Structure formats: C-alpha cells, structure tokens
Amino acid sequence: MAPRTIIIDDSNFIVTQLRKHFTETLGHQVVAVGKDGNEAVDLYRTHRPDLLAIDLSMPHKRGVDAIKEIIAEFPDARIVVISAVRSQEMIECIQLGAKSYIEKPLKFDTQEYVRDFALTVEEALGGSRG
C-alpha cells in the first residue's frame, strides 16, 4: 500500500517538484499539501499520514514549532524535514523527534541525491510500516 504523505512548504515551486517526486518516483500517495506550520498541524490531525515532509522557514508558524506540536500530540509521527536551513534549528528538529533531515536545494537530476532521498524517506517510514 502506498505511504500516505503530507507535504508542507510555502513555495509552490518546491511543492510541485516534491509532489511529483513523492508520487512518481517513490510511489507515495500525497494526501494533502500545506504552506505553513499551522496548516501542518491541522492537516496532520485530519489525515494522520504515514509521513510528513516539512520545510522549516515558513510564514506564520515555522516548521520547528509545528514539529514540536505534532510530536507532542502524536509521538509516533514520522517526519522528514526538507529545508535549506542549516542552523541549530535543524538539530533541534531531530532532537524533537523528526526522523531525518534532507537538505535543499532539491537535486532530483542527480542520481546520488535521488538515491539518498529515497533511503532517507524509507528509513523514516521504517518503524511504522509492516
């Protein structure tokens, strides 16, 4: 069964690429898309996805704050951060319970990046899939 995935990123430019990659390359079902941390929390509650792919630098509520709320409510949440942020914030996300971190820029025309992306997502999903 295809993993049910939510994508949270304030950039349509990025969402388009991620949606295509998650569905066409990784075989996921993208059940919802949001553009800030508030939508991430709401959409997570509504859909209870297998995976949440979330950016950090977003308006209204940053990704790290959304992750904090989601993990507090759903400790088993499977979250992958996909962001260009390199600061302490990315370590904080892992400490909060995000499973892994993927750096932007997205390089889906690079084989090594595509392979590592797939492995990272698969590992993040590992514990929740039978």
Q: In the complex, which residues of this chain contact another protein (CB under 8 A)?
A: 10-14, 57-59, 83-91, 94, 100-107, 109, 113, 116-117, 119-120, 123
Q: Give dist(CA 7, CA 44) in Å, integer.
A: 10
Of 39, 91, 100, residue with least CA distance to 70: 39
CB neighbourhood size of 90 (10 A): 19
To the nearest whole angstrom, how small is the minimum distance from the Cβ of residue 34 to another protein? 15
To the nearest whole angstrom, how small is the minimum distance from the Cβ of residue 56 to another protein? 8
CB-wise, 43 or 58, nearer to another protein? Answer: 58
CB-wise, 38 or 100, nearer to another protein? Answer: 100
Residues 6+ apart with CB under 8 A from 115: none
CB-wise, 9 or 50, nearer to another protein? Answer: 9
To the nearest whole angstrom, how small is the minimum distance from the Cβ of residue 89 to another protein? 6
CB neighbourhood size of 100 (10 A): 16
CB-wise, 73 or 123, nearer to another protein? Answer: 123
At 20, list the tokens.
Answer: 């295509």
To the nearest whole angstrom, how small is the minimum distance from the Cβ of residue 8 to another protein? 14
CB neighbourhood size of 59 (10 A): 10
